[in-house]
């Protein structure tokens, strides 16, 4: 959570530094890092700059990451997003030294307070922020109005992150968010071939359908490290975020499992997901376990879902766990068959039944450090289904 607040704070400071004419027409964004050309030259066909996904909100909120309160509501076209507070964001792949124009339609409702409302663009090298720009909205916008933000990605950029922020008491409505890249392909590169071994002989026997077997608990690695994500605060190696959640409070005092704080997740409509986003994605085969304490449900027993997702929010594993109301339950999910060619960026914990808030404490993962370092990591034999001959 430390970083979560820091990020907003940074935007607040940057925000007040910016002269902000109301964006009724083109607003050129300036880069704090000049665009130099001393990066590694890549061939044009290697360069990929991603579009925003679901920029029109016709598919709901995914894959936008939100914090706090939002609504999918009537938009300029079909549905749109209303950010009550504080933000929605989306990170997309980018290349260095590329010009772009982000266009979106926005309007506001409510009285402007002392905090800021507007649009931020972060330039990232992996998880390191190289620079950012902020475009403030300082006066009410009654009807959906086009805002355009142009910029150039600095050297070493590998992604950009768009922020739509309202910490101001106003509700910010946005819709039809698009990005136009100049001189950069928006066609994704072909996927990296998987390492599925080719059968060397044509099967002659009639294949027997595989019998499902329960996933075995993986053997506990010798070089197992516990990596804390939340004990009394969110580790600086992780972001905290949510979907369908009214508020996240990492300073909750009651109930606490251990130490000073727990993490309270208050749900919007009896359903919500809190997630932890790894700043450095975790090689999937190195993940041994996800562990946490959970409390605060209002039914006698209740089922939570624990999901591992890659950076595209593609689930790599879903597990359900049952907890009892009114007490802390210890959850330990172990993994044995995560795909070798994937990395884990999100650990998501969903409550889809209760309308009560739930509480998390002592969230950590067990990571097999041998699997990160050794080339045996790529031994796919144990991760792929057996080939039947």
Minimum distance of Ca ion from residue 159's CB (angstroms): 24
List the one residue from 34, 77, 186, 332 that touches Ca ion (CB under 5 A): 77
**Number of residues this chain uses to bind Ca ion (CB under 5 A):** 10
Q: Give residues 316-375 in contact with Ca ion (rule: CB under 5 A).
A: 361
Does position 60 interact with Ca ion (CB under 5 A)? The reply is no
In contact, 363 and 320? CB cutoff 8 Å: no
Minimum distance of Ca ion from residue 231's CB (angstroms): 5
Does position 296 interact with Ca ion (CB under 5 A)? The reply is no
CA–CA gap between residue 150 and residue 38 (Å, rounded): 22
Minimum distance of Ca ion from residue 80's CB (angstroms): 5
CA–CA gap between residue 269 and residue 246 (Å, rounded): 9
Q: Which residues of 347-375 are buried (b: 16+ CB within 10 A; e: fewer)?
A: bbbbbebbebbbbbbbbbbbbbeebeeee
Which tokens in the block code for residue 64?
A: 């936008």
CA–CA gap between residue 314 and residue 121 (Å, rounded): 24
Q: Give residues 217-256 in contact with Ca ion (rule: CB under 5 A).
A: 232
Does position 259 interact with Ca ion (CB under 5 A)? The reply is yes
Does position 78 interact with Ca ion (CB under 5 A)? The reply is yes
Minimum distance of Ca ion from residue 233's CB (angstroms): 9
Q: Give residues 95-114 in contact with Ca ion (rule: CB under 5 A).
A: none
Does position 175 interact with Ca ion (CB under 5 A)? The reply is yes
Minimum distance of Ca ion from residue 78's CB (angstroms): 4
292 closest CA partner among 352, 229, 215: 229
CA–CA gap between residue 165 and residue 15 (Å, rounded): 11
Give the CA-trace dihedral at 47, 59, 244, 171, to 10 degrees: 90
Minimum distance of Ca ion from residue 257's CB (angstroms): 6
List the one residue from 15, 55, 56, 154 that touches Ca ion (CB under 5 A): 56
Binding site for Ca ion (CB under 5 A): 56-57, 75, 77-78, 175, 232, 258-259, 361
């Amino acid at each position: 959570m430390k970083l979560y607040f820091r990020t907003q704070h940074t935007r607040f400071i940057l925000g007040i530094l910016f002269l902000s004419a109301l964006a009724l027409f083109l607003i050129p964004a300036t880069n704090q890092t000049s665009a130099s050309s001393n990066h590694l030259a890549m061939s044009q066909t290697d360069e990929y700059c991603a579009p925003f996904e679901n920029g029109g909100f016709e598919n709901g909120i995914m894959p936008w990451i939100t914090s706090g309160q939002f609504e999918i509501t009537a938009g300029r076209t079909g549905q749109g997003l209303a950010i009550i507070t504080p933000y929605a964001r989306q990170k997309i792949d980018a290349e260095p030294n590329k010009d772009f124009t982000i266009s979106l339609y926005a309007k506001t409702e409510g009285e402007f307070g002392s905090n800021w409302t507007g649009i931020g663009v972060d330039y990232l090298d992996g998880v390191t922020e190289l620079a950012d720009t902020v475009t403030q909205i300082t006066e009410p916008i009654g009807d959906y109005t086009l805002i355009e933000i142009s910029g150039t990605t600095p050297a070493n950029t590998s992604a950009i992150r768009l922020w739509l922020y309202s910490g101001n008491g106003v509700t910010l409505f946005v819709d039809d968010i698009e990005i136009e890249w100049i001189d950069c392909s928006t066609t994704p590169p072909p996927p990296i071939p998987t390492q599925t071994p080719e059968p060397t002989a044509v099967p002659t026997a009639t294949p027997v359908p595989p019998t499902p077997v329960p996933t075995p608990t993986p053997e506990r690695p010798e070089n197992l490290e516990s990596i804390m994500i939340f004990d009394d605060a969110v580790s600086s190696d992780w972001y905290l975020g949510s979907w369908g959640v009214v508020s996240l409070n990492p300073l909750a005092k009651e109930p606490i499992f251990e130490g000073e704080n727990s993490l309270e997740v208050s749900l919007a409509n009896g359903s919500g997901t809190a997630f932890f986003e790894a700043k450095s994605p975790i090689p999937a085969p190195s993940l041994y376990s996800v562990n946490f304490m959970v409390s605060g449900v209002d039914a006698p027993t209740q089922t939570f879902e624990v999901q591992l997702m890659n950076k595209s929010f593609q689930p790599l594993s879903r597990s359900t766990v049952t907890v009892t109301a009114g007490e802390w339950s210890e959850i330990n999910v172990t993994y044995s068959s995560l795909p070798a060619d994937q990395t884990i960026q999100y650990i998501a914990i969903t409550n889809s039944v209760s309308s009560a808030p739930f509480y998390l404490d002592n969230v950590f993962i067990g990571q097999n450090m041998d699997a990160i370092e050794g080339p045996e990591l790529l031994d796919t034999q144990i991760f792929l289904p057996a080939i039947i001959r």
